[in-house]
A and B are shown apart, each in its own frame.
Chain A
Amino acid sequence: SQQGEEDPQALSIQEGENATMNCSYKTSINNLQWYRQNSGRGLVHLILIRSNEREKHSGRLRVTLDTSKKSSSLLITASRAADTASYFCATDGASNTGKLIFGQGTTLQVKP
């Protein structure tokens, strides 16, 4: 069955607001990754958080990981219109093959 589920499926906010997206997964992991996909483009890697980490920051991005709840969240602070995209979480299912299992994504719209 599909590994990751994301919530909400769609999110619409005003520029300057914060956006929070959640991801749940089902199996053990070595790490969890977040990707962004602009319309009609490929995925862009945003951040990787390891299973022994609880929080990680990169610019305006903040990712948390709760392995006991098998969940992660991505917070984008002070959103911009350019942040409009789909955001996906991906887990490795504790394998070392590089296989990633993606969630269905959250579509974020940031209105100017």
Chain B
Amino acid sequence: DTAVSQTPKYLVTQMGNDKSIKCEQNLGHDTMYWYKQDSKKFLKIMFSYNNKELIINETVPNRFSPKSPDKAHLNLHINSLELGDSAVYFCASTPRGGSGTGQYFGPGTRLTVL
């Protein structure tokens, strides 16, 4: 199936740990994004890569580091996890950079930090 996929779907971990979330899209899109959705459903962009190049880097703690090994993959590594990192993280993609098209979202990764 063509889609944006994320792994894992659920992630429960202790404070201070380091964890990674993976995202893959097989839509042939050039641009990928990471969003964070908090408990009140507020969705905020974190990062965006266009063909492996970082183009959006919002005010995010440097404990969060995105990595794009190729344009089909955008991973998110989080160091020294804190309670406030608990949220649902969504990956998304678009055919190209810019805002002229809708974004395709993955199913989300629910991160719980204990």
B66 interfacial contact with A, CB 8 Å: no
Contacts of B106 in A (CB 8 A): 42
Is B102 a contact partner of A88 (Cβ separation < 8 A)?
Answer: no
A-contact 0/1 string along B33-49, CB 8 Å cutoff = 10000001111110010
Bound form: Cα–Cα A96–B33 in Å = 14
Contacts of A98 in B (CB 8 A): 31, 33, 48, 50, 55-56, 94, 97-99, 103
Is A99 a contact partner of B48 (Cβ separation < 8 A)?
Answer: yes
CB distance from B43 to the nearest CB of A (A): 4
A33 to B, closest residue via Cβ? B102
Measured as residues with beta carbon below 8 angstroms from the partner, the interface class of chain A is 20 to 34
Is B94 a contact partner of A41 (Cβ separation < 8 A)?
Answer: no
Bound form: Cα–Cα A46–B90 in Å = 17
Chain B contributes a number of interface residues (CB within 8 A of A) equal to 28
Task: Tell me the number of A-to-B contacts counted with CB atoms below 8 Å.
Answer: 71
Bound form: Cα–Cα A76–B24 in Å = 32
A-contact 0/1 string along B88-104, CB 8 Å cutoff = 00101010011111111
Is A95 a contact partner of B104 (Cβ separation < 8 A)?
Answer: no
B-contact 0/1 string along A8-45, CB 8 Å cutoff = 00000000000000000000001101010100111111
B-contact 0/1 string along A58-101, CB 8 Å cutoff = 00000000000000000000000000001010001001111111
Which 10 A-B pairs give the minimum distances between C-beta atoms? A45-B102, A92-B99, A42-B105, A102-B43, A43-B105, A96-B98, A42-B107, A105-B41, A98-B97, A99-B56
Give me 23 A-to-B residue pairs in the complex whose CB atoms sit less than 8 angstroms apart, sorted by A's number. A35-B105, A41-B108, A42-B90, A42-B92, A42-B107, A42-B108, A43-B43, A43-B103, A43-B105, A44-B105, A45-B102, A45-B103, A45-B104, A46-B102, A48-B101, A92-B99, A95-B99, A97-B97, A98-B99, A98-B103, A100-B103, A102-B43, A104-B40
B-binding residues in A (CB < 8 A): 2, 30-31, 33, 35, 37, 40-46, 48, 86, 88, 92, 95-102, 104-105
